[in-house]
Amino acid sequence: MKEQKRRKVNNFGVRNAGLETSCDQISHGPSPSLELEGQGPPEGRCTKSGGRKSSHQIVPATRGRGRSAKKPPEVCILPLITADQYASRSAMLSSLVVAWSPLLKLSSRICGAPEINSSICFSLLAVGSKSGKISFWRINVPEYYSIEQSLAPTRVELIGILKAHSSWVTAISCALLASDSSTPQVLLATGSSDGSVRIWIGHGEEFLKSTEVNNAPFYPLKEIVNIYAVPVSVLSLMPTQSLHKMLLAVGRTSGAIEVWIGDTSVKTFDKAGPYDAHDQVVTGLAWAFDGCFLYSCSQDNFVRSWSLRGSSLSEMPIPSSSPGLRSVSDMPDVFISCLGLVVSPSNLAVAMVRSFDVNQLDHMYEARLQKAAVEFFWIGGHQKDILSNTSLEFDIEPLPGFTEKELVYWESNILWSLKQYEHWDKPLVIWDIVAALLAFKWSAPDYVDHVLVKWLSSSYVDVHVERSIGKVLPHVCKSFCKAASRQLHLLNIICRQVILPELKADEINSNLLNFTVDNPNFAQDKQHKLWMDLLSRSEKELRERLVGFSFSAYRSFASNSATTSSEPGYWYPFGMAQMEQWVANNNHQVHDQLKVVATEIKTCKRSRCIELAEEDKEQCSYCSAPVPFESPEFGVCRGMESNGSSGQKHKLARCAVTMQVCPITPLWLCKCCQRWISKLAPESLFKMPQQHCLDYKFSPEPSSIKVASKPQCPFCGILLQRSQPEFLLSPLPV
Judged by DSSP in three states, 482 sits in helix
What's the predicted TM-score (pTM) here? 0.81
What span, in angstroms and rounded, lies between the C-alpha atoms of 448 and 442? 10
The distance in angstroms from the start CA to the end CA of the chain is: 68
Confidence of residue 718 (pLDDT cuts 50, 70, 90): very high
Is residue 471 within a helix (H) or strand (E), and if so which, with residue range? helix 469-478
Verify cis geometry, omega within 30 degrees of 0, for the bond prior to 274: yes
Is residue 86 within a helix (H) or strand (E), and if so which, with residue range? helix 83-93
Structure confidence by residue, pLDDT tens digits, 194-247: 999 999 999 888 888 766 777 888 999 999 888 888 999 999 999 987 888 899
Question: Looking at the predicted structure, is the pLDDT value of residue 41 above 90?
Answer: no
CA distances from 683 to 152, 347, 711, 714 (A): 19, 27, 10, 10
Of 410, 339, 331, the closest CA to residue 378 belongs to: 410
Q: How far is CA 57 from the centre of its chain?
A: 53
407 vs 696, more confident: 407
The pLDDT value given to residue 561: 55
Structure confidence by residue, pLDDT tens digits, 159-195: 999 999 999 999 999 999 876 666 788 999 999 999 9
Confidence of residue 29 (pLDDT cuts 50, 70, 90): very low
The partner residues of 682 in beta bridges, in order of sequence, read: 707
Of 182, 180, 222, 176, the closest CA to residue 202 belongs to: 176
The pLDDT value given to residue 109: 60
**What angle do helix axes 431-443 and 485-494 make, rounded to 10 degrees?**
40
